[in-house]
Structures are given as structure tokens and as C-alpha cells.
Structure 1
Amino acid sequence: MIDSDPDAELLARVGRSEPQAVQEMVARKLPRMLSLAMRLLGRRSEAEEVAQEAFVRIWKHAAQWQSGQARFDTWLHRVVLNLCYDRLRGRRDEEPYEDELHEAADPAAAPDEALQAVQRSARMAAALAALPARQREALVLQYYQELSNAEAAGLMGISVEALESLLSRARRALRAQLMSD
């Protein structure tokens, strides 16, 4: 049994087809799901499609959701991860689109700072994309999605020790990749 789910009430309202609840759900969950998919897939257009499919599933399943089994947020992360895996399996040998390796820099930054931020972001995105899928997933869940080791390990279906091993190998590989550039 899990502790109270902070999304339970909102999910129930979505299940009752309340338009305001749907807007709140999108506002609450879309940025993180889009970020997760973008970091795993490296393509904004695919990340948007994955996020859209995840929200379709929310709307289909909201009325039947039974709390107590798992947190809604955990289920949603698992849905997005699975959708990303499906897409990645379909393009194992393809390279990420160069123009989609990073998100736009803050428009308020000075031009030279913005350029440096874009370059750093592109280097990190390329280094992430070069990692094995499981290492990339572990890093994204922990650092970008800000999940605890236990939450990330649970989503990945591995032990915390296995997650820590993946993270260690991923950090070493990223460091080596970024130092060689």
C-alpha cells in the first residue's frame, strides 16, 4: 500500500471529464513528461508525440484509476518510458537530429551567454545520446526528473544497487565524452 497520492483528487476530476481538471493535469504533468521524453529520444517532435499519447492514456484510464496500487506519477513515468522504448527500438542505428539535441536557450540571456548555453546543452545532449539506453535512462530519471534512487530503480525494474552501478558507469562515460570534446 502506498501513502496518499497527491494526484488522486485531480485524477478523479479528470475521470469525471471536468475541463478545468484536464487543463490542470496538463499544466502539472506535461513539462516533466516532455522533458523526460526529450532527454531519452533527443527529438522534440517525437517527445511531443510521446507526451500526447501519454495524456490520451490518462484520459482513457482516469475514470478507472484505483489508488493504492501505485502512485499516479509513477504509472505516468512508466507509460512515458515504455513509449520512448518503443520508439528507440524502431530506430536503433539512427543518429539524433542535430537541430533537436537541445532546447532553446533563455531568450533573456546575453547573446554570448545564450550561445554558450546552447553549445553546452548540445554537447550534453550528444553525450547523453551516446550512452547506452539504460545508463541514459538512469541519469535522466535521477538528475532531470529529480527522482530518488528508490523511485528511479522502481521505474526501471532494478535494485537500488543496480541503479547506482548504472549511474556510476554513466557518469564516467559522460565525463570521458565531455573531456574529449
Structure 2
Amino acid sequence: MAIGLAETAPPSGAEADAALVRAVAAGDARACRDLLERHLDRVIGLAYRLLGERSAAEDVAQDTFLRLWSRAAAWRPDARLDTWLYTVARNLCLDRLRKAGREIDAPLPELPDPAPSAERLIDEARTARRVAEEIAALPERQRSAISLVHEEGLSNIDAAAILGVSVEALESLLARARRRLRERLTETGEVSGGGRAAAGGAP
């Protein structure tokens, strides 16, 4: 009787990332390109939502990956690469805001373009531009929480680790951000008064 070969499960995203980082440490240029393909757009997206400038967001993403390349040899195999990248990118964004003399929790100026997936985040909004403007006007910590959980799809645990807060504190940030978004979008007529979806289903 023929015996079938056992199928090997493909590596998880975290395992694949760890293998690529090890390859980068060994000087594999292809691994660098693969990591950029996997994560660059999302890092730029997060930085853009925090800074509101495409060129600045790209600079932050470049600095983030340069830090990864320089530390690849010391990478811990149990570390989550996406969490590390978002943490570094967010900290670099905050550094830029501080150097520009901008209060971290002050509203950002209006964004010239809508956030790429704003309509998925707030599905009752009529235009992504208006939603992006309201997200940009949130205090920085609320804006980061919304971006990490709803835009980047991270779990509450991972998002809390990036922000350096407890899961309970993250949930509080999300609730306040959703409430504020729902109120503002209702005031401007973008959603109806009961627009729970517009605020991510916040109570």
C-alpha cells in the first residue's frame, strides 16, 4: 500500500518574517526586497495617517527599515516583525512632530487626500475625504489606536504593545475615538444620528 508523504504546513506570517530577517542578516538582498514588499506600504500608510505628508511618511518608512537592516543580526526569533515596525515608525513620527514644534495631541491639518481604506473603517461615511479629515483631527493617541486596529488590522493586544499601554487603556482610546468620529460625522451630515458603523461599532 502506498504511503502518502506528510504535508508540511506553510510557515506563518511571523515565521516567514523571522526567516527573512535572518536572511537579511546573512546579506541576502532578495530577503530585503521581500520584506519591503510585505510591509513597506503599510508602514508608509501608518506614517502618512500620523504626519499627513506623503514625502515625510516615505522618509519615516525608509528610516524604519534602515533600523531593521542594521539590527537584523541581533533579531530575536520570538519577536513580531510587524509590531516592531509599527512601533519604530510611530516613534519616528512622534519625533518629527516634536521637532516641528507641534503638540502631539493637537489636531493635524486637513489631509489633501483620503486615507486609503477610510470607507472600510467607517462604512456609513459618504466620502473617504471627510472621514480622513476627522481621523486626522483626533488626538494623536486616539488616531494611532484607530489606525493600528482598524486600518492595519492588528489585534488589541498588539496595538496596545505598540502604543505602550494596557489593553484596557487601548480599548478606552478606541471608544473615545469612535465616539468622537460618530459625533463629528453626525454633525456634518455624513452619517445618520444612529451611525454606529461610522464609529466602528462603539457603544
TM-score by length of 1: 0.81
Structure 1 counterpart of 2:95: 86
Structure 1 counterpart of 2:114: 102
Structure 2 counterpart of 1:50: 60
| CA shift for structure 1 position 89 | 2.0
Following the alignment from structure 1 to structure 2, what is the Cα–Cα distance between the partners of residues 42 and 21?
30
Structure 2: segments with no counterpart, 5+ residues: 1-13, 118-125, 189-203
Following the alignment from structure 1 to structure 2, what is the Cα–Cα distance between the partners of residues 120 and 42?
18
| CA shift for structure 1 position 158 | 1.1
Identity of aligned residues (%): 47
Q: Max radius of gyration: which structure? A: 2
Structure 1: segments with no counterpart, 5+ residues: 106-118
| CA shift for structure 1 position 67 | 2.0
| CA spacing shift, 1:159–1:104, aligned 2, 3 Å | closer
Query: For the Cα contact (< 8 Å) 1:43–1:96, is it kept in 2?
Result: no
Aligned residues: 163
Q: Which amino acid aligns with 2:156?
A: N
Following the alignment from structure 2 to structure 1, what is the Cα–Cα distance between the partners of residues 161 and 181?
24
Q: Which amino acid aligns with 1:54?
A: T
Following the alignment from structure 1 to structure 2, what is the Cα–Cα distance between the partners of residues 102 and 49?
20
Following the alignment from structure 1 to structure 2, what is the Cα–Cα distance between the partners of residues 97 and 58?
31
Match for 1:22 among 32, 46, 58?
32
Following the alignment from structure 1 to structure 2, what is the Cα–Cα distance between the partners of residues 74 and 98?
26
More helix as a share of residues = 1
Structure 1 counterpart of 2:50: 40
Following the alignment from structure 1 to structure 2, what is the Cα–Cα distance between the partners of residues 157 and 98?
27
Q: Which amino acid aligns with 2:56?
A: E
The answer to whether residue 77 in structure 2 is matched with residue 67 in structure 1 is yes
Structure 2 counterpart of 1:114: none
| CA shift for structure 1 position 177 | 1.5
Over the aligned positions, Cα root-mean-square deviation in angstroms equals 2.1
| CA spacing shift, 1:87–1:150, aligned 2, 3 Å | same
Following the alignment from structure 1 to structure 2, what is the Cα–Cα distance between the partners of residues 104 and 19?
30
TM-score by length of 2: 0.73
Structure 1 counterpart of 2:18: 8
Q: Which amino acid aligns with 1:16?
A: A
Task: Provide the secondary structure at the position in 2 that maps to 1:13.
Answer: helix
Following the alignment from structure 1 to structure 2, what is the Cα–Cα distance between the partners of residues 31 and 135?
22
Query: For the Cα contact (< 8 Å) 2:60–2:93, is it kept in 1?
Result: yes
Query: For the Cα contact (< 8 Å) 2:111–2:132, is it kept in 1?
Result: no
Which digits, 9 at most, give the CA deviation of each residue in 1:121-171, with x for residues without a partner? 221111011111111111111000101111111111111111111111100
Which digits, 9 at most, give the CA deviation of each residue in 1:13-59, with x for residues without a partner? 11112121111011011011111111111111111110011111111
| CA spacing shift, 1:98–1:75, aligned 2, 3 Å | closer
